[in-house]
Structure 1
Amino acid sequence: MKTSSILTKGTLAFLLLGALTFTACKKEASQSKEDELNTVESTESNNEAEAAYDDVFNNTMGIGAEANGESLGITAGVGIFGRIEGGDITGRVDSIRCFTITVSPNTPGVFPKTVTINFGDGCLGRDGKVRKGKIITVFTGPMGIPGSKATTTFENHKIDSVKVQGKHEVTNNSTSNNRIFTTKVIEGKLTWDSGRWVAWNSVRTVAQIEGNGTPFWPLDDIFSITGGGRGENSRGKTWGHEVIEPLFKKFTCRWISKGKMRIKYNNTSGILDFGDGRCDNKAELSINGNPPRIITLP
């Protein structure tokens, strides 16, 4: 009986240990799966913010002859009218415009200069997006000149159903050999009509790696992007984002086409691979060594 009692106690202890181990493993697996799904959600929210503020960069840095004959941006050879409304390389030549640009002061060469792009109650772009409200940018000088800075704020600005807020800064830190810009999104926030939101901060270094020899012809421009930041969304998810292989952005492509970014949620890291340089809206997200997921870029 004594031996049986000892065996019974040992068996019970073994079974209890096994049950605890099984429960812990199950809980750990469940937590790992939840973190993986949250990493996917964080990546998608990060991509939404990246796309919205990239649109701001494209619009403000596309201010060309529309600014009273001055070329204030860095992609001004196409101009914002050409980029959003279509038309020829020099911009619109007719009077039909779905947005207006005002410059103050409008005297060439006088800075700082405030440029307001007013999309009004709705402007359908050639990319299929409807923009509303105002983008207001203060230029300390033409952005092709080192040391110049452009600071953008927003007044009821929306891209489709998404309201864009915060501050966007671009600084020309170019040297005699390299064309380099620093971009910052400070207290950025996107809010959907449904109430969903994404808060986002980032610092990027944007270096032009091709097209430097044709400053008035941006169609051959390719930029290399590095940097990182943090994000948060209305579902309580927070994450860090960091470029681990330089991102390649072609002027002629709407999306990043090459490079890798790390999205870190809790202790889970996802690697977002933008591809081999082809222009498409697909990227692959790999998490914890699992087969990659296909992510559609906004």
Structure 2
Amino acid sequence: MPSPVVTRCAPSPTGYLHLGHAYAAGIAFLRARQAGGRFLLRIEDIDLTRCRPEFTDAIFEDLAWLGLTWEQPVRRQSEHFVDYRQALDALHERGLLYPCFCTRKQITAEIAAAGQAPHGFEGVVYPGTCQQLDHAERIDRMAGGEAYALRLNMAAACARIPTWPLHWHDETAGRQTVTPDLLLQGFGDVVLARKETPASYHLCVTHDDALQGITLVTRGNDLFPATHLHRLLQALFGWPVPVYAHHHLLTDDSGERLAKRKNAPSLRDLRDRGLNPSAIWQMAGLDPSRILD
């Protein structure tokens, strides 16, 4: 028997939801409903400096107003840092993590001095400066209270995978291939935890998708490249690999993607203007009759 379809919507409470969030939530909800599966809501509030409780409350209110329903309880990542710490500890015990004391300014200066700036999927690739520190210096600097991030030693992580290449499937783009060169050049030694964010998005999202039995990940195509890294983490931990469906992002009249930081009109702004849920779904390009009972 095929596995039941389990999808999720996983917003971060760093502001009010806008039309793009509604579209993403609607896609996940519809895919679960069409398959007679399950739709989960997860609150990705690991960024303790930007996430706020009032935005979490607003997420529940806005999605319910739009006519969406989801299973309870809702997983809030800020309540599960122990889980992510255990995952980080497992990587550390395998020699795959190291502390990085470099500030962003120092990284920029080092790359400039080297006369080259290799760019990956998420910007400039870290040059691996702190990977060269010996164990004693690392311990002394950590004990002295110096701020640091935890980076994945990408070369060492790739060496732990017994069979290459890895693969994952996107419903539109088809079968995707992951190789060590792609990961080293596209990501390098990525940060998996910081002082202000005890675990990174990359670690938490793959951990929770596995924990919650997500079989179909629907999300914006801006996250398509990140799936290569997520596939590596799945292989390192032995987590199952869901099917992915990366969709387009909604844009404004100028062609810019809708974003909180660019003050895209929030769903509550639209509601205050007199729009009802049916109108919101139509604006998002989804059929209201398939969502609203």
- Structure with more strand by fraction: 1
Q: Same fold (TM over 0.5)?
A: no
For the superposition of Structure 1 and Structure 2, which TM-score range results when normalised by the shorter chain? under 0.3
Structure ID, larger Rg: 1
Greater RCO (Cα-Cα under 8 Å, separation 6 or more):
2
More helix by share: 2
